[in-house]
Structure 1
Amino acid sequence: MPHILIVEDETIIRSALRRLLERNHYQVSEAGSVQEARERYSIPGFDLVISDLRLPGAPGTELIRLAEGTPVLIMTSYASLRSAVDSMKMGAMDYIAKPFDHDEMLQTVARILNEPRQTPAAAVSAEPAPQSPAPVEGEIGIIGSCPAMQDLFGKIRKVAPTDSTVLIQGESGTGKELVARALHNLSKRAKAPLISVNCAAIPESLIESELFGHEKGAFTGAVAGRTGLVEAADGGTLFLDEIGELPLEAQARLLRVLQEGEIRRVGSVQSQKVDVRLIAATHRDLKTLSKTGQFREDLFYRLNVISLKLPALRDREDDVLQIARAFLKRQSQRMGRGEMRFSPEAERTIGQYTWPGNVRELENAIERAVILCEGQSIPADLLGVDIELEELEDEDFAERPGPEVGGGHEPTEDLSLEDYFQHFVLEHQDHMTETELARKLGISRKCLWERRQRLGIPRRKSSAPSNS
């Protein structure tokens, strides 16, 4: 069981974080300052140190030296993000902003513990390995053997060595940040910082100051000048996740960075040059947003130099079980559960479910199943997904004519099967669940979903109770 040291002077935060980690099967020790941590523990003996940046006495960055190679995760407020970037340059593995999201904290901790013990600069290579793409985690760091992912890996290798701006598009949870990390790690900037910013997570009133910095007195509370995150990424890569949420005024400033290679801090009249490679990501349709005035059209075309499309998990049928088994191995090792496996029913469920939350939903489902499972074989019901087990008796569920239903809507010579399907679904979906619709039509829920997509039939907004 991994042993984690928390160094945080605020008792409420320290206790809450301890409970979160202990619930997820980590052994936890705690201290209120660097001095207390030194006196009570052998810091290099821990698997991970999580420390607040600002502590009484010595700052949290002092633990990087004392840890002697043990990874250190720095916690900081948004107002101190620039200092967190400095801490990464000093050797911290990563930083996380307070107040942190529980899932984000757990994912960050799991990722750090699964990485080899080395400094961030040594963990990447400026040159990709000269070998053919592997279907599992390797040089790219992403699992995927299906044709769509192999095509994506080929594009990453071609694009990574350049300084071209890249726009990564894909649904939430598909792994856009992993693609950004791969582009950075395989680039000539690999030894420089990769600064990741979630544009949707920073308050709109702070985002310009955080990205571009500000001068002393630029606004109320600006008691000192501050370097922005764009400037902190100088020489490296800036990854702007959820760029579609960026306010229009900040978009104009970002456009200047792309066009002129320079920034101007909030409240300043002086510009300064920066050498930054920009990678952006979004789950939104920026082209449509630009036509409605919600996103700058000129910025869209500047971002859309190289566009990489991440397929949804439902379109990666060959990869789903491979990814699920990798997550199962990782979670069972992390929780000290030994070698676990999926039951045949669980594997069929994983293959049949459409995973609307994509890889993130799959990972969370498996983590929950590992926690709740009492034996070594995970049953299908512990995955907690909305799919009827009786539909999984045959993976190649035969499409057969549905039984007669009320209303006299049998197919006729004047009505094709697709017309009949569309007519039936539109008429009955307001009072029947997806499972009932699929059963009446004699098809699986997966087939129902695929036909909806092909015929452009949207699902109703909410599931009404069945009248049957």
Structure 2
Amino acid sequence: MKNVLIVDNQISNCNLVSKLLKKNNYHVETTTRGDSALEMTKKTKFDIILAEFHLPDITGAKFFDEVRKTNPDTQMVMMGTEVHLKIAVDMIRRGANNFLSKPLNPDELINVIKDAENIPHTYGQKIVVPDMCYAGGLSSSPLSLVIGESPKAKAMMEQVKRVGPTSFSVVIQGETGTGKESVARLIHMNSRRKNGPFVAVDCGCLLREIAGSQLFGHEKGAFTGAVAKKSGFFEQAKGGTLFLDEISNLPLEIQVGLLRVLQEKVIRKVGGYNEIPVDIRIIAATNENLLNRMETSSFREDLYFRLCEYTLELPPLRECMEDLPRFIDFFLEQTCRELGKPKPTICEEVREFLQQYNWPGNIRELRNTIRRASLYVDRENMIRKDALPPHIKDYGNDPIGILSNPEKQGKVLRKYDLKSTALNAEYQRIVEVLEKVRFNKTKAAEILKIHRKTLYVKLKTLKIPY
């Protein structure tokens, strides 16, 4: 029998929920204060805690963090009345199993508690790292996975260890090149589905006209050119994991179909009438803020909450610079094995250039830089300054000063050489358009006639706050 602790500032709610859970064979204890709940967790091992966010003596976020410190394997379900959407999302990102709105729906509550109950205890267990995986979000060639040792990298791996063994749908957020597919594969390898297929799909490459066929399959004769019955990605991933990369690019009409699949666990081929059961786990990835996409009605709110049972945020490389030497040596050894050459030495000057650069392309950009530099070793088998791309060599000495001087970030560029004049004009135009569209990046990219990803690179490079 599982132990459940209910923490609610209203004794009537405690009694109602307690009665419901006891009928479903749970051992239940209740309290109306956060401080007494924390004392109870020191004396009793609770499997699940159902906690009100607005407690009288402590904030829900602080209560959550305090429980996590002493009871890392206790599953936490938060609840509240008229709680702002961003608060709920933040708590789920912190690691809460769910955030329920009051008044509670009894069936929904039992389902959430059962889901939390089925999560295995992972504290102290070692995470399985596959010998062959994909690094830096690359999908074209298999690479060994490199894991950082910085606090943020370790925190990310702890989250992988926690969510991996579950059946939760996961949304991985991170900038381009941070290794979202690598982490998705790592989650798959630490799940009960590790012996099943891992199917990766780039939603940005799905053709709007036939996206339904690509995902769900089609029957013969369903449309012009459908000369034979075909299985889609969902059927191909049966018993395993379906990774939907750049989920924000999924057309709205396909989002409706995906929502139904997540709800009903069945698909219907294009042109077909029979419903086909599918047993898969969904892991989605995005380099955009899906909450912003929801506000512009380009991403469905109901789909977001279906997908977002667990959110994992990947830190950019510039926030884990203590891992840089480890990554450099890893990619250097990897490239030299591929080329069949002895591992070269990187001179101190080059290491300083690599350390001061801000890596807008993250791990992918670092990997490509090291691979390129490995082709330009000198007679002493050393990589020197000339082996680096111009934009990295010039980064610390840029004439504007905005790229290397945080004090000038967000200020108007004011130099007079041709390069600075062009960058100044670009900076001013991007800021002007962003303000005009209220910082909607998709609309800004359309007005500027550039790809949205190109706009994000420019925002990072020019240090424009967004």
TM-score bracket, shorter-length normalisation: 0.5 to 0.7
Distance 1:138 1:218 in 2: 39
Is 1:326 paired with 2:335?
no
Q: Which runs of 5+ in 2 are unaligned?
A: 1-119, 134-143, 398-403, 424-458
Instruction: Rate the CA distance shift 1:434–1:301 in 2: closer, same or farther, 3 A.
Output: farther
Contact 1:136/1:142 (CA < 8 Å) preserved in 2? no
Q: Which residue of 2 aligns with 1:344?
A: 348
Distance 2:383 2:224 in 1: 55
Match for residue 384 of structure 2 among 349, 358, 379: 379
Distance 2:364 2:160 in 1: 21
Contact 2:336/2:342 (CA < 8 Å) preserved in 1? yes
Q: Which residue of 2 aligns with 1:227?
A: 231
Q: Which residue of 2 aligns with 1:314?
A: 318
Contact 1:128/1:186 (CA < 8 Å) preserved in 2? no
**1:19-418 map, 5 Å:** 141-375=145-379, 376-388=381-393, 391=396
Distance 1:339 1:217 in 2: 56
Q: Classify the secondary structure of the residue corresponding to 1:426.
A: coil
Tell me the CA shift for residue 265 of structure 1.
0.6
Tell me the CA shift for residue 248 of structure 1.
1.0
The letter for the 1-side match of 2:385 is A
Distance 1:193 1:422 in 2: 46
Higher mean Cα deviation, 427-436 or 381-390? 427-436
Is 1:428 paired with 2:414?
yes
Tell me the CA shift for residue 254 of structure 1.
0.7
Distance 2:392 2:163 in 1: 39
Tell me the CA shift for residue 307 of structure 1.
0.5
The letter for the 1-side match of 2:299 is F
Q: TM-score, normalised by structure 2?
A: 0.57
Count of aligned positions: 294
Q: Classify the secondary structure of the residue corresponding to 1:253.
A: helix
Instruction: Rate the CA distance shift 1:142–1:388 in 2: closer, same or farther, 3 A.
Output: closer
Distance 1:250 1:194 in 2: 21
Distance 2:464 2:394 in 1: 25
Tell me the CA shift for residue 142 of structure 1.
3.5
Distance 1:213 1:326 in 2: 40
Q: Classify the secondary structure of the residue corresponding to 2:165.
A: coil
Q: Which runs of 5+ in 1 are unaligned?
A: 1-125, 393-398, 401-416, 438-451, 460-468
Tell me the CA shift for residue 385 of structure 1.
4.8
The letter for the 2-side match of 1:382 is A
Distance 1:269 1:246 in 2: 24
Tell me the CA shift for residue 426 of structure 1.
1.4
Distance 1:435 1:233 in 2: 52
Tell me the CA shift for residue 207 of structure 1.
1.9
Higher mean Cα deviation, 171-180 or 368-377? 368-377
Distance 1:422 1:435 in 2: 17
Distance 1:142 1:128 in 2: 22
Q: TM-score, normalised by structure 1?
A: 0.57
Tell me the CA shift for residue 269 of structure 1.
2.2
Tell me the CA shift for residue 285 of structure 1.
1.5
Tell me the CA shift for residue 138 of structure 1.
10
Tell me the CA shift for residue 373 of structure 1.
2.4
